[in-house]
Structures are given as structure tokens and as C-alpha cells.
């Protein structure tokens, strides 16, 4: 498994209040992942079957589930299906050695946060857990893709584990682009909406957006020559 390039302190700050239930029948993989997660999460409960997993789930009410799809008599999907009958809140990750159309449809129906194709790397796991964190936090934050999260109430970006503060106008611009995702926002519209009565040249607007772009994933803010800019989030799958 590869070593993830991340800010361990920031990741721990995000995950330290969360509990995780990990169900995996491969003892070596279970031990490795459990040891990795124990460094960052409040508690990690691990077992080798869905039947034992359901007991731990009912006893401990974890925030996040990581379930292998192939677990014997009861699969990870069976366990997730059972839990989803009454619990829509707990975030669920599924690990699988394969992908197919039928499974993808099940994933949508079960409102899974993400499925992870084996072998699961530390990088895969961190990215998926950051997405779980985003969903749990709800409207407080927005997943921009490519491991980039915009935390609204704190006015900062979490990008690949690093925290970057946003200035007031950068927040206004980012909120505007998010609201109009996929649309070309012309210079005149940006000037009137963000700066209102303060005249701004195209060069001044470009300078402000250039500063914002440096804090975001590459190509998330795309220049439309002579017109303005278009905001497109990175792949969130």
C-alpha cells in the first residue's frame, strides 16, 4: 500500500471525533487498515464477518462503516441493506475487488458514500473518509472534488489535507461560482455582483480570480477567452 502525501495533523483534526466500524475477513488487511485508522479516529471497531459487524454496529453506533463486499453468508451489501432500512445517516464505504453495473445500481440505492476497488491504498482511504466527513458536516462544507473541501462557516479550503484561508472577496467569488456551476460568468456580471458600486477593470478581476485559483484544484476555474470564467468541480465519484 502506498504512503499518502497528507497533512496528518489536519486529517486527525477532522477525524478525531468519529468512530468507524471496519468489516473485512482478510486478517492481514484488517490489521493494517485498523492500525492506520486508529491513528486518526476516536475509535475503530473491527471484525471479520457481517454477523459480528451488526452486533458491533448496534452496540457502538459508529459514524462510518467500511464494509468488504465478500464476507461469506452475509455480504457487505447485505449488511448495508439491512442498516439502511432504519439508518440513513451513517456513512458507508464498500470495498470490492470488482465493479459491475448491478453493483453500481445497488450503491446508488444504498446511498453509499463511495466504493473502493481493492487493493485499497491509504490515499484511497483518506479521500473516501474526507468525503464521509463532508457529508456528515452537511451544509457546513462543500466537496469540490480532487480531495478539496470548501468549509463555509470557517471560510477556508481543505486541499489534500492542508488548510488554506480565504479572503472576503475570494469567499464571495467562490460562493458565486458554486451557485452558477457550469455557467460562463462574464466580467460585467462578476463586477456588478461581487463589487457592486466599485468599478473594477478586467485586469483587476483577473488578479482576484488568479489568487483564488491558486488555492483550488487545477482547472476548476476555467478561463473563457474574452468573456469571463466557468466553474466546474473535479470528479466526485
How would you write the pLDDT of the chain (237 residues) with one tens digit per residue? Answer: 444 456 778 888 888 889 999 999 999 999 999 999 999 999 999 999 999 999 999 999 999 999 999 898 999 999 999 999 888 889 999 998 876 666 666 666 788 898 888 899 988 999 999 889 888 876 567 888 888 888 887 889 988 778 899 999 999 999 899 888 899 999 999 998 898 878 899 999 999 999 999 999 888 999 999 899 999 886 654
Identify the bridge partners of residue 23 per DSSP, sorted by sequence position.
47, 67
Identify the bridge partners of residue 20 per DSSP, sorted by sequence position.
44, 64
CA–CA distance, 210 with 139 (Å, rounded to integer): 26
Tell me what pLDDT residue 236 has. 52
Tell me what pLDDT residue 44 has. 97
Tell me what pLDDT residue 106 has. 67
Tell me what pLDDT residue 83 has. 94
Tell me what pLDDT residue 4 has. 44
Tell me what pLDDT residue 17 has. 87
CA–CA distance, 58 with 51 (Å, rounded to integer): 11
C-alpha cell at 162: 492542508
CATH (residue range 166-231): 1.10.10.10
Q: Tell me: domain 8-138, CATH 3.40.50.2300, correct?
A: yes
Exposed e or buried b per residue across 143-158, where buried means at least 16 C-beta atoms within 10 angstroms of its C-beta: bbbbbbbbbbeeebbb
Residue 56 near residue 45, CB atoms below 8 Å? yes
214: left (phi over 0), alpha (psi -120 to 50) or beta: alpha
Q: Which of 188, 162, 194, 164 is nearest to 176 (CA)?
A: 194
Tell me what pLDDT residue 5 has. 54
141 phi and psi angles, rounded to 5 deg: -145, 160
Tell me what pLDDT residue 162 has. 83
Strands 141-145 and 64-68: unpaired
Amino acid at each position: 500500500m502506498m504512503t499518502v502525501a497528507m497533512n496528518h495533523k489536519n486529517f486527525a483534526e477532522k477525524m478525531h471525533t468519529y468512530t468507524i466500524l471496519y468489516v473485512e475477513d482478510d486478517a492481514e488487511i484488517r490489521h493494517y487498515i485498523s492500525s492506520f485508522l486508529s491513528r486518526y479516529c476516536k475509535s475503530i471497531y473491527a471484525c471479520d464477518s457481517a454477523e459480528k459487524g451488526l452486533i458491533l454496529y448496534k452496540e457502538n453506533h459508529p459514524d462510518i462503516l467500511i464494509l468488504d463486499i465478500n464476507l461469506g453468508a452475509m455480504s457487505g451489501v447485505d449488511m448495508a441493506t439491512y442498516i439502511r432500512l432504519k439508518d440513513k445517516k451513517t456513512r458507508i464505504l464498500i470495498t470490492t475487488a470488482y465493479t459491475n453495473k448491478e453493483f453500481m445500481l445497488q450503491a446508488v440505492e444504498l446511498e453509499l458514500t463511495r466504493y473502493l476497488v481493492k487493493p485499497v491504498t491509504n490515499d484511497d482511504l483518506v479521500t473516501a473518509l474526507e468525503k464521509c466527513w463532508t457529508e456528515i458536516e452537511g451544509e457546513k462544507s462543500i466537496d469540490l472534488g480532487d480531495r478539496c473541501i470548501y468549509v463555509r462557516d470557517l471560510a477556508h479550503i481543505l486541499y489534500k489535507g492542508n488548510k488554506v484561508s480565504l479572503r472576503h472577496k475570494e469567499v464571495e467569488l467562490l460562493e458565486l461560482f458554486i451557485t452558477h456551476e457550469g455557467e460562463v460568468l462574464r466580467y460585467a456580471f462578476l463586477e456588478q455582483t461581487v463589487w457592486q458600486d466599485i468599478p473594477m477593470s478586467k485586469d483587476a478581476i483577473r488578479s482576484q480570480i488568479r489568487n483564488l485559483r491558486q488555492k483550488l484544484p487545477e482547472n476548476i476555474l476555467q478561463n473563457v477567452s474574452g468573456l469571463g470564467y466557468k466553474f466546474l468541480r473535479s470528479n466526485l465519484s
